[in-house]
Amino acid sequence: MRTRSLAALALGAVLALTGAGLARPAVAAPAPAGPSVAAATRQVEAFGEDGSISRAQAPARSPFTAAPPAAALAVGGVGGVDGTVTPIVQAGPTGAKLDLVVVGDGYTAAEQGRFLTDAAAKWREISAVEPYASYRGLFNVWAVQAVSAESGVSGDPDPATVRRTALGSYFWCSGVERLLCVDTDAVDRYAARAPQADLVLVVANSTKYGGAGYNDLVSPLGYSGIATVSGGNDRSGQIAVHETGHSLGHLADEYWYDGQGPYTGAEPAEANLSGLTADRMRSARTKWYRWLGRTSPDGGTVGAYQGGGYYPTGLYRPTDNSIMRSLGREFSLPGREAMIAGFYRYASTLTSTTPTTGTLTPADRVEIALPVAGTRVRWYLDGRELTALRGRTRPDLAALHLTGPKWLHHRLTATATDPTPAVIDPDLLPALTHSLDWDLTR
């Protein structure tokens, strides 16, 4: 085990976060990583108390990671042992839902009840923000108990504080007080305990504001990125919301650094950055031109605002100050559209407890669930719509009056579409429709 001290990890250059409020100026670029940083580093996002966001280099491993105490393998808090998985929200089968895995750190065996409370509270914070609020039904949330030998995390309340924990969480990472880093390999080991991991959130046993975003990490488990937050701080959930803007919405950061730029590269792939002005965007019918002039939930009107993607000039963002630039904000209209499309890359507009394998008869029952309010469902028999069944979630199969030999199979199809006005890009609309099929026979 590495035993390097926090002081040895510090770079000695705290990010200079300038400005406060809703329309804050650009922040200073982070100092380059010094020789004291471990060779294996990752680029992470750091979050200031004023809502500002910046980047830093952080070690991929933690010097404070410790195996759980032997007693945790046999006894413990809620559910007992290290690695216990508890469903916080179980909305449906993992294949049809977006699965968020919450792993705790710095909670002893006796504190696992507190971890489950903190994990549920973080999900409430996240799901209170749109578009999460309207799409809660698409999510499963799993809590994975990681039993730590010591309570709390390193760097809280000061850099001299050291605590050995299951994930090695620590503040003052790379010299940045609020940057809460973890051992990413340890996170992966615990996340693997859950039935499925599409998103991973580490909740640390601390009331100190802070967190981190590992948005360049791609896990062998299939999830992209890790967000860390303080479990006892009621504002840290915003960090997770911003990070999922990257992992789910494939959105770019909209902040920039003083002295950087101008940007002279190719047109960015992300939906919320462009090298085009509003007029050129409208003329070329590209990026967020369909949203131009509309009032955005994060305030103001959708346009082309100079600065974004870490460059003060040469790139434009859709609105002045969305959550991809400052915490405590909403997603912009283009950002909200990208998030909803991201939800549907993992989740479905409909699920069913009736197996789609095998063959049904009119005596059987088909039942579907529509997890998002307002979803429209239509039924088809052998490709022909059964208009009388529109909107129904429990069709009467006996009323279908199937014809033909008993061995002849018919195909029953349910097709559900989310008609949300928050998605208007024709290329994204197909993701809002899903179908399920059943074979029927007399």
Instruction: Determine the pLDDT at residue 27.
Output: 35
Rounded-to-integer distance, Cα 127 and Cα 382, Å: 39
Lowest mean pLDDT among 63-67, 290-294, 395-399, 436-440: 63-67
φ, ψ for residue 107, nearest 5 deg: -105, 120
Per-residue pLDDT averaged across 167-196, rounded? 95
Same domain, 208 and 354: no
Q: Which of 247, 277, 312 is the last residue of a domain?
A: 247
Whether residue 286 lies inside any domain: the answer is no
Average pLDDT, the chain: 88
| Statement: residue 25 has pLDDT above 80 | no
Which residues, other chains included, contact 291 with Cβ-Cβ below 8 Å and sequence gap of 6+? 302, 318, 333, 334, 337, 424
Q: Which CATH number does the domain housing residue 353 bear?
A: 2.60.40
Rounded-to-integer distance, Cα 372 and Cα 120, Å: 21
Whether residue 253 lies inside any domain: the answer is no
| Statement: residue 127 has pLDDT above 70 | yes
Whether residue 150 lies inside any domain: the answer is yes
Instruction: Determine the pLDDT at residue 164.
Output: 95
Spatial CA neighbour of 108 closest among 43, 164, 173: 164
Instruction: Determine the pLDDT at residue 319.
Output: 98
Rounded-to-integer distance, Cα 413 and Cα 54, Å: 49
Q: Which of 187, 213, 247 is the last residue of a domain?
A: 247
Structural domain including 224 reads 6-247
| Statement: residue 258 has pLDDT above 70 | yes
Whether residue 388 lies inside any domain: the answer is yes
Whether residue 256 lies inside any domain: the answer is no
| Statement: residue 186 has pLDDT above 80 | yes
| Statement: residue 251 has pLDDT above 50 | yes
Instruction: Determine the pLDDT at residue 285.
Output: 98
Q: Which CATH number does the domain housing residue 13 bear?
A: 3.40.390.10
Per-residue pLDDT averaged across 23-49, rounded? 53
Grade residue 109 by pLDDT with cuts at 50, 70 and 90: very high
Whether residue 313 lies inside any domain: the answer is no
| Statement: residue 71 has pLDDT above 70 | no
Whether residue 306 lies inside any domain: the answer is no
3-class secondary structure, 15: coil
Q: pLDDT (tens digit, 9 = 90+) per residue, 306-346? A: 999 999 999 999 999 999 999 999 999 999 999 999 999 99
Q: Which of 226, 247, 268 is the last residue of a domain?
A: 247
Q: pLDDT (tens digit, 9 = 90+) per residue, 204-224? A: 999 999 999 998 788 888 898
Whether residue 217 lies inside any domain: the answer is yes
| Statement: residue 19 has pLDDT above 70 | no
- Residue, of 23 and 104, whose pLDDT is higher: 104
